[in-house]
Chains A and B, each alone.
Chain A
């Protein structure tokens, strides 16, 4: 199987020929940073285009079709437009918090994004507490959302921020518990190790029923964490105009928008990595020739294929269901998802011990 680590190793060796250790590391950090930020921006543009097209097909429309062939340059045009827009500062708002809110959201999102294993060897951050890191950093975003709502000095944004506080904190519990279920099965939190263990069989099949339940809970809770319909209460367009980011304009709003789409991608990518084997090809024990053919498909294609399948699932749900009310939302979490997740993790533990 082709590994991206060959390329990175070659780069590392080449740099070390000319520079000492410290400088090499610095150059590599900068390169990785640029690569991640570039990938982040490009992915956001692709996701926005995909969402608009998919949504259009669900609604019997055509979607963007003017800018470029099939409208593929639409999101580029939108990006240029949003960059040119005036930034409006709200009178009597808390300026420092107002302007820092979007950075907190985007920083949390980029930090999570950097720790994903994109392909064989294409993995920037690989801690031994990888899953813990993902959960910890991604939950930082909520601080930004709360600040945005608070600092805008508007009653609508305030309501949106409070809703999102209640929602994100609740759903993080289920999302965390369902990921822990897989950690119990894998015996490690390191993402590369988790992916490697799925070389023969993905965890969703390996873990039998508890893993499938965990996957379902994770998809629901993760979807809720992205603040997208039917869990889009913090934004709730028809009630709160735009929720916590009502008062943001231009690229300030753009940052929230970007983070929202990337969070969608990140949630899907974590689901793909932890449950669906990450960049590992689909393998069935015993079907030798089938496995060989599958292994020929490059690893990055597997990763993005699985991730986009999860993204599509999320879009499908978003464009089909009405929004939940806040009490229904919290009931779903605290009375249904969380108890199931706790029982599920015990089940998994029992199953692992008995094996």
Chain B
């Protein structure tokens, strides 16, 4: 941190301050790119965790959350502002972090900030003909402005890629075509049996070999972040666990933690233990489904049914205690919605040896199958540097040997009270991404095993005020969900509604990874690689 102070302290367009969350660097827009280069190259901030677009009323802004792969518990906040006008401009950092282009597209879509030099400035979630930028505070949601369209979006609109560059101080607009006239382009999705949701991939093929991939998002976009701005804090929870529906518990936990930390509230130990157990059970369920889907995408439907069968046991445990199955909705701000069922511990303890036995069976059925191994080995290699640059966290990053587990980096809830291993695999291939999930199930079982017998007695929830108001400021909370680092950013003005809520989706960047590693593989492998990354579409299309 010293070096950042020394570097920037005598410059007037850069301000450095030390906040509770870490270093905050505020920079004038014209110096943004320089600062970013310095942070990336000299200070080794090689991981762009997230970019949050902001509308401060008079100004539009972007908050960059940067982190170092060497020192992952450190987060640097880089803030910049640009005038609120018709054509706000900022410099793109797309060549510094590979995850940046997609974040910038999202900010362009919602705030209308054009990033100069970003080669792809299409809208990401909304249609090309949408009027207005919905996350701006002065956005007019009148349906007359954007009537429901009776016709399909023209596919040509998806292929015209605009971009803006700066040449000798003059702006130049460019439009390029994504695909050549004679390319063999296939649509995978939005409706496709292997797409696990409504993701639309446009794939250019040479025979069976993939030459180019262009993902289209937004088919299930619900405007969660905009909705959050008119909701109270307890209401946010219900939207959060519907993002990545397979990691519902963890996402909900993230929002709870973010609000609790902002309020500096002490959560009872009992609640923390149960939350951790729920998180880990959800992780097992998600990995089982991920495993099964991946097997199914490779043509082995039996494995999918086995995965579902074991997952059902977890759903039953959830149902008994919380009422919900896929989304237990058990964590609330201050603790838990209700106490655990009297049979909860017994059921969980029965589940652990059952799952261990079934894990062996799953390995026997699939992990050593010569066809499966032949298909997954030496395919779609993702090296560590690329994984960091892409922000591909979670099992995907760990399969490329990147230590990125938030449970280890900044332990929350009861994770500092248990022994478990952060599974790392050096391979970076599809097989490693496949195998690591089964290994993580074992680790989750270990965590649950250590906690389930030691759930402390006492109250399960702290009393909260009827109306929760957060103190003024920006709050960030990261948790490890089943797909990677999930982040919640809340900007509060002290009101009962948040001023701005942003969710960092681990799945969005995984699609970027798919685009990166699936070039020159066969069509059959594209589906399998997608399943090995295990993205969940509603989390992408927030």
Contact = CB atoms under 8 A, between A and B. Distances in A.
Interface stretch (A196-204, A252-260, A315-323): A315-323
A60 B525 contact: no
Interface stretch (B34-42, B371-379, B533-541): B371-379
Interface in A301-355: 319-328
A61 interface: yes
Contacts of A156: 186
Contacts of A319: 301-302
Nearest to A235: B299
B371 A239 contact: no
Contacts, number: 80
B192 A155 contact: no
A58 interface: yes
Contacts of A60: 305-306, 309
A322 B527 CA distance: 13
A352 to B, nearest CB: 34
Given A321-B371, A328-B371, A59 B305 contact: yes
Q: Chain A: interface secondary structure?
A: loop
A240 B309 CA distance: 27
Contacts of B186: 155-156, 159
Contacts of B365: 320
A278 interface: no
Contact of B300 (A241, A320, A327): A320
A325 B299 CA distance: 10
Given A156-B186, A159-B208, A326-B208, A238 B302 contact: no
Interface residues of A, number: 28
Given A58-B302, A156-B186, A322 B524 contact: no
Interface string A236-254: 1111110000000000000
Contacts of B295: 322
A159 B298 CA distance: 17
Contact of B524 (A320, A321, A326): A326
Interface in A113-166: 155-156, 159, 163
Interface string A163-177: 100000000000000
A60 B31 CA distance: 63
Interface in B357-389: 365-366, 369, 371-372, 374-375
Contacts of A239: 194, 523-524, 526-527
Contacts of B525: 325
B184 interface: yes
Nearest to B372: A322
Contacts of A229: 299-300
A322 B309 contact: no
A321 B373 CA distance: 11
B302 A230 contact: no
**Which 7 pairs between the two chains have the least Cβ-Cβ distance?**
A323-B299, A322-B298, A238-B194, A322-B300, A59-B305, A238-B297, A322-B299
Given A237-B194, A319-B301, 18 more contacts: A59-B306, A155-B184, A230-B371, A238-B527, A239-B524, A239-B526, A240-B523, A241-B193, A320-B300, A321-B299, A322-B295, A322-B299, A322-B303, A322-B366, A322-B371, A322-B375, A323-B524, A328-B371
